[in-house]
A and B are shown apart, each in its own frame.
Chain A
């Protein structure tokens, strides 16, 4: 082989290598799409006291809950130390939620009844021995009466923009309707990658800012805590009041001007 041929061969190799590397880098980086949610959940559960009101054996439900990702009871336990009976996707405990609009005459079943019938689906022990009650958390929760007095919490992670993630926590007040949420127990937190450019709104009412601090794991992130006012303003400026109990089906987050 002449030096000229070798140079040409090396140049062809270089071009093919560069094209392949570009494609490989692009496709690798494209898998990072969920990193913001993933890390925000880690920060929220490890480094804030947001979930302090939640106790062992309580149940949480969220529309975006997904056992396939980090948003589940396992990570919640390891990061917060609180062992939920389970963290359900809302469509599992409220299967007809999407079809049962607020305006329609439609009765949703009791969450607690569905919980009692759904929990055994998580069980892996075929013939339960007394020792399994201590060993296996699911078996322990299946014991009669053990979940009677627990709280059920509504929560969610809502990506308002690619750089703004909002989360809330509200206790179910199922004394009136099965899907009633107690707004006096509400907490709202927003993660922002960069500057906070707007205020979030809850059911058409702009939220009031309580505090702001940088995240521990990523210094570019700002964590802002918000409160739901009893009477507040809507994004168009009119006065709106929030009742003590709102229906889970009506929960909606949006934005107001800063």
Chain B
């Protein structure tokens, strides 16, 4: 696909996320944005050394108090707030980091699938699945913690894929270590990435299959057996150790010595976990978080020129993109993906992203009886990215899906 087409699709993505620039401080950003002023008051100035000290102070407090370990977030957020004091500076950073996470995700899909079509469609779908939420919103609040974590996870995925496809052992090891480092950094940014190990594993599996030129669909049992062995591959081991090391540090050490673990971080499971988990699966469906009514019409009236112009631009871009697909032969197009082994792995990658937030929330007692499709938490960004991928896979394979479903009905009718 031409660079110009990629640029147009990126414009759509940038337009859809642009309202972030109109927002003010939100959520935890209010108190945390006061950091430079507090540092100046306490120590006389908000120097770089004071900023790092402050980050480490809070990291230590959360380690010993709640048993949580996320120092990278403390460092990133304190530095952001100290050096980006004006709201417009901070919002440009927040906007950029989300845009970057989206583009990196599409690059990852392009790398894994070898398909411009799937990557481009995923980018288009992100414009619809990424929705700003009431309450806890990861897009315009919380110091860009979730996009930052996702960027590191995607980098870990890219490097493990490169490691898996690399014939040169030395180079493969180097990529593998880089992947483990980025994964550990992601874990130290936000613990949510603890549930994203399968995502990295799928990238490794896809790369492995690419190198061995194995892409014949297997039955689920054979495929699952192969995946469970793949975890212990020498090239994947650094990532596994990063995951195990972090798990041991948090659950084996910090949780035991933490003095004041609040209810939100006490994990448990009950029948109430099930509706929480199910409700969160659907949070990435386009427009699902929207409450239609008078408020929406007021919002539209207040900004309709921008909304109409942006939507028309996006419509034209989508039209041109679909026309291009019609005229150009793009690798990985219809009827190819569904019947390959790659399809199983990429679907698991998408499903992991969709399900991880709900899984985490279902284990937190504070969310039982509270979480709904419209009441989600910060991890919802993962669901939005995963949903964009799964919707794109479905759209690409729509003819094959229809054929398969029709055949299924015919068989049922016969029997």
CB distance from A90 to the nearest CB of B (A): 19
Given A29-B22, A70-B34, also A136-B299 (CB < 8 A): no
* B1-58, CB < 8 A from A: 12, 15-17, 19-26, 30-31, 34, 36-44, 57
Task: List the A side residues contacting B298 at CB < 8 Å.
Answer: 26
A75 within 8 A of B: yes
Partner of B34, one of A19, A21, A75: A75
* A3 to B311 alpha-carbon distance, docked (Å): 20
* A138 to B41 alpha-carbon distance, docked (Å): 9
A49 within 8 A of B: no
User: Are the C-beta atoms of A21 and B310 separated by less than 8 Å?
Assistant: yes
- Tell me the dominant secondary structure on chain B's binding face: helix
User: Are the C-beta atoms of B311 and A137 separated by less than 8 Å?
Assistant: no
CB distance from A150 to the nearest CB of B (A): 16
* B122-157, CB < 8 A from A: 124, 127-128, 131-134, 137, 140
A53 within 8 A of B: no
User: Are the C-beta atoms of A1 and B326 separated by less than 8 Å?
Assistant: yes
Q: Which residues of B are in contact with A by a Cβ distance under 8 Å?
A: 12, 15-17, 19-26, 30-31, 34, 36-44, 57, 124, 127-128, 131-134, 137, 140, 286-287, 289-290, 295-296, 298-300, 302-303, 306-308, 310-312, 314-316, 318-319, 322-323, 325-326
User: Are the C-beta atoms of A11 and B132 separated by less than 8 Å?
Assistant: no
CB distance from B345 to the nearest CB of A (A): 27
* Interface size class of chain A, counting residues whose CB lies under 8 Å from the partner chain: 35 or more
Partner of A83, one of B30, B41, B134, B303: B41
* A27 to B135 alpha-carbon distance, docked (Å): 10
Task: List the A side residues contacting B325 at CB < 8 Å.
Answer: 1
29 A-B residue pairings within 8 Å (CB atoms): A6-B322, A10-B315, A10-B322, A11-B315, A13-B315, A16-B286, A17-B310, A18-B308, A18-B310, A20-B128, A20-B287, A20-B290, A22-B300, A22-B303, A22-B307, A23-B287, A25-B303, A25-B306, A26-B298, A27-B133, A28-B21, A28-B22, A28-B23, A28-B140, A29-B22, A74-B34, A75-B34, A78-B40, A138-B42
Q: Which residues of A are in contact with B by a Cβ distance under 8 Å?
A: 1, 3, 6-7, 9-11, 13-29, 31-35, 38, 67-70, 72-78, 83-84, 124, 135-138
CB distance from A7 to the nearest CB of B (A): 7
* A1 to B128 alpha-carbon distance, docked (Å): 22
Given A20-B286, A22-B300, A25-B22, also A136-B307 (CB < 8 A): no
User: Are the C-beta atoms of A23 and B290 separated by less than 8 Å?
Assistant: yes
* A223 to B296 alpha-carbon distance, docked (Å): 35
Given A26-B296, A136-B43, also A17-B322 (CB < 8 A): no
- Give A3's nearest chain B residue, CB to CB: B323
Besides the known contacts A7-B319, A20-B131, A23-B289, 6 further A-B residue pairs in the complex with CB atoms under 8 A apart = A18-B311, A26-B302, A27-B133, A31-B23, A68-B30, A73-B41
User: Are the C-beta atoms of A26 and B44 separated by less than 8 Å?
Assistant: no
* A92 to B162 alpha-carbon distance, docked (Å): 58
Task: List the A side residues contacting B23 at CB < 8 Å.
Answer: 28-29, 31-32
Partner of B299, one of A15, A25, A72, A137: A25
Task: List the A side residues contacting B34 at CB < 8 Å.
Answer: 67-70, 72, 74-75
User: Are the C-beta atoms of B128 and A13 separated by less than 8 Å?
Assistant: yes
* A69 to B306 alpha-carbon distance, docked (Å): 31
* A32 to B133 alpha-carbon distance, docked (Å): 15
* A19 to B42 alpha-carbon distance, docked (Å): 47
Task: List the B side residues contacting A138 at CB < 8 Å.
Answer: 42
* A29 to B316 alpha-carbon distance, docked (Å): 27
User: Are the C-beta atoms of A75 and B318 separated by less than 8 Å?
Assistant: no
Partner of B128, one of A7, A16, A25, A78: A16
